[in-house]
C-alpha cells in the first residue's frame, strides 16, 4: 500500500472537479486506488505518507489516437491537407519502418515523448510491419506504460512499398496479439487505416478478426471533405462513411475508436450513438491539416463517448494538456460559427475527456475513485503559482501555460515510471 498527500484534482463527472486541498490518496498493492480522503482515516495513522507538499496530483493523460511511425515528421509538412499530405509526407515516412534499426531509434523516442508529456496510456497506430510493431509493444511494456498497439491494414491507394495483403494484415495482427498476451498493460487493436486504404476484402477479414477474438477497433472517420467524397465513390452501397465500417462489423460490435468525426451528422451520428462508438477528438491535427471542427458538444449531449487524441504527426505535439487547451478554443470557434447555439466546453469537461472518458477505453482508468488504476501526474507549478491562486486555477494555468518542466512524477497502474531510455 502507498499513501500520497498533495493537492488532488480529478473529475468523477464532467461537470465539476473534485478538489482535495492537501488531501490523501491511498493506493493498494494492485496499483488501484483504495480511496481519496480530505483527512486520513484512523486506520492509516501509523502508515508512512509520501508528501508532495504543495504540488498538484491529478490523473494522467490518455491519448486515444496517435501514429508512432510519424515521429520524425513532427512539426514539419503542414502545407497540405489530408489526402495529399498522406501521399507526400506520411506514407513515405512510414515505409521506413521495414528497417528494424530505424524503427527502434524512432520508437524509443516516441515512447520517451509520450512519457515526457504525461501520457500513460495510448491507442497507437503502428505500420504494416509486424516486427517493428511487436518492438513498439516491447518498448511500451518495458517502459511500464499502457495501451493498445495496432498493426495497420492497408491494401489499396497507397504505395506498393506500404501495402500489405489481407493475409499479412490478419496474421500480423494475430502476431501482435500473441506477442502482447503476457504484457499486463499492452494489447492488440484491429487497425484498418481508413476506408480509402482498405479493399472490401481487407475490411471483411479485419471485421471477422475483431469479432472472433473480441478485439477493439481503431480507424479514421469523416476527417476531411475530400476524403468523405472519395469514400462515397469507393463504397457506393454505404449510406454514409460510418456505415462503410458498420457493414464490415467494425462500428461498435467491439469497442471502437473513430478519430476526427469533424463532419459527422445525421445517420452517421445516430449510428455512433446507438453503437457506443468513440469519437476521438484531435483538434491540434484538425487545425494543422485544415480539416474542420468536430461537433463535440453535440456528441456529449447525445451521449456519444468522446476521447482526446494527439494524432501525431498531423497533430504537432504529444501533450494532451495542449489538446485540452485546443479542445476548449475550438469549441468556442464552433460556438461562434454556430450562432452561439451550442455551449462551448468547460475546463472540467475537457479535462474529463482526457482522463476518465478516454481512460474508460482501457478499463477503470482516468479517475481517483475507488478501484481506478492509479495513473497519476505530480505537477510542481511553483513557477506559475506566484499569487494566491485556487487549486483549480492552478490546474487551469498549468494547462494553458505549463509543459513537461513542471511534471515531477508520473505513475501508471500504481508504479512510478522513470524516463524511458532513447538511442542518441
Ligand atoms: N487518415 C488515414 N491515415 C491518416 C493519418 O495517418 N493521419 C490522419 N490524420 N488521418 C489519416
Ligand atoms: Fe490519425
- Which pLDDT tens digit goes with each residue over 209-239? 999 999 999 999 999 999 999 999 999 999 9
Task: Give the model's pLDDT for residue 199.
Answer: 98
Q: How far apart are CA 356 and CA 363, in angstroms?
A: 10
Q: How far apart are CA 7 and CA 24, in angstroms?
A: 8
Top mutation candidate among 77, 193, 231, 241 for ligand 1, by most atoms within 8 Å of CB: 193
* 327-351 mean pLDDT: 97
Q: With a threshold of 0.95, does the pTM exceed it?
A: yes
CA of 37 to the centre of ligand 2 (A): 40
Q: Contact at 8 Å (CB) between 114 and 67?
A: no
CA of 259 to the centre of ligand 1 (A): 9
Kindly report, residue by residue over 16-71, the tens digit of the pLDDT.
Answer: 999 999 999 999 999 999 999 999 999 999 999 999 999 999 999 999 999 999 99
- CATH superfamily, with its number, for domain 61-362: Metal-dependent hydrolases (3.20.20.140)
- CATH superfamily, with its number, for domain 2-60+366-416: Urease, subunit C, domain 1 (2.30.40.10)
Longest distance between any two alpha carbons in the chain, whole Å:
69
Confidence of residue 314 (pLDDT cuts 50, 70, 90): very high
Confidence of residue 135 (pLDDT cuts 50, 70, 90): very high
CA of 220 to the centre of ligand 1 (A): 7
User: Which set of grid coordinates corresponds to residue 8?
Assistant: 488532488
Confidence of residue 81 (pLDDT cuts 50, 70, 90): very high
How many H helices and E strands in the chain?
15, 17
396 ligand 1 Cβ < 6 A: no
Closest ligand 1 atom, residue 70 Cα: 6
CA of 259 to the centre of ligand 2 (A): 6
How do the domains of the chain map onto residue ranges?
2-60+366-416, 61-362
Characterize the bridge pairing of strands 306-308 and 278-281.
parallel
- Listing DSSP states for 257-304 in one string gives EEEE-TT--HHHHHHHHHHTPEEEE-HHHHHHTT-----HHHHHHHT-
Closest ligand 1 atom, residue 311 Cα: 9
Kindly report, residue by residue over 162-192, the tens digit of the pLDDT.
Answer: 999 999 999 999 999 999 999 999 999 999 9
Amino acid at each position: 500500500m502507498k499513501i500520497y498527500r498533495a493537492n488532488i484534482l480529478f473529475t468523477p463527472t464532467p461537470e465539476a472537479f473534485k478538489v482535495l486541498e492537501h488531501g490523501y490518496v491511498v493506493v493498494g498493492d494492485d496499483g488501484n486506488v483504495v480511496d481519496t480522503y480530505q483527512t486520513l482515516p484512523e486506520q492509516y495513522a501509523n502508515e508512512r505518507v509520501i508528501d508532495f507538499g504543495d504540488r498538484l496530483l491529478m490523473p494522467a493523460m490518455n491519448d486515444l489516437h496517435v501514429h508512432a511511425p510519424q515521429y520524425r515528421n513532427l512539426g514539419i509538412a503542414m502545407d497540405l491537407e489530408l489526402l495529399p499530405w498522406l501521399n507526400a509526407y506520411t506514407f513515405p515516412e512510414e515505409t521506413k519502418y521495414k528497417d528494424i534499426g530505424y524503427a527502434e531509434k524512432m520508437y524509443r523516442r516516441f515512447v520517451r515523448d509520450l512519457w515526457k508529456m504525461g501520457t500513460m496510456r495510448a491507442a497507437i497506430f503502428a505500420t504494416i510491419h509486424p516486427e517493428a510493431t511487436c518492438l513498439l509493444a516491447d518498448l511500451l511494456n518495458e517502459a511500464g506504460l499502457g495501451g493498445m498497439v495496432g498493426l495497420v491494414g492497408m491494401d489499396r491507394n497507397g504505395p506498393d512499398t506500404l501495402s500489405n495483403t489481407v493475409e499479412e494484415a490478419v496474421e500480423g495482427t494475430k502476431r501482435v496479439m500473441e506477442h502482447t498476451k503476457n504484457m499486463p498493460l499492452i494489447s492488440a487493436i484491429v487497425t484498418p487505416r481508413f476506408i480509402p486504404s482498405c479493399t472490401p476484402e481487407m475490411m471483411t477479414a479485419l471485421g471477422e478478426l475483431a469479432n472472433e477474438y473480441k478485439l477493439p477497433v481503431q480507424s479514421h472517420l469523416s476527417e476531411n471533405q475530400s476524403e468523405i467524397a472519395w469514400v462515397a465513390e469507393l463504397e457506393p452501397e454505404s449510406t454514409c462513411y460510418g456505415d462503410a465500417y458498420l457493414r464490415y462489423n467494425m462500428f461498435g460490435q467491439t469497442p471502437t475508436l473513430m478519430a476526427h468525426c469533424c463532419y459527422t451528422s445525421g445517420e452517421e451520428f445516430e449510428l455512433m450513438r446507438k453503437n457506443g462508438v468513440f469519437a476521438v477528438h484531435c483538434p491540434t491535427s484538425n487545425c494543422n491539416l485544415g480539416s474542420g471542427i468536430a461537433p463535440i458538444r453535440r456528441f456529449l449531449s447525445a451521449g456519444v463517448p468522446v476521447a482526446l487524441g494527439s494524432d501525431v504527426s498531423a497533430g504537432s505535439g504529444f501533450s494532451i494538456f495542449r489538446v485540452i487547451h485546443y479542445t476548449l478554443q475550438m469549441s468556442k470557434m464552433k460556438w461562434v460559427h454556430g450562432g452561439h447555439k451550442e455551449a462551448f466546453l468547460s475546463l472540467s469537461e475537457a479535462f474529463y475527456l482526457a482522463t476518465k472518458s478516454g481512460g474508460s477505453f482501457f478499463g477503470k482508468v482516468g479517475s481517483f475513485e475507488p478501484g481506478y488504476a492509479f495513473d497519476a501526474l505530480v505537477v510542481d507549478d511553483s513557477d506559475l503559482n506566484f499569487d494566491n491562486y485556487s487549486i483549480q486555477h492552478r490546474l487551469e494555468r498549468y494547462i494553458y501555460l505549463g509543459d513537461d518542466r513542471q511534471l515531477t512524477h508520473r505513475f501508471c497502474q500504481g508504479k512510478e515510471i522513470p524516463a524511458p531510455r532513447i538511442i542518441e
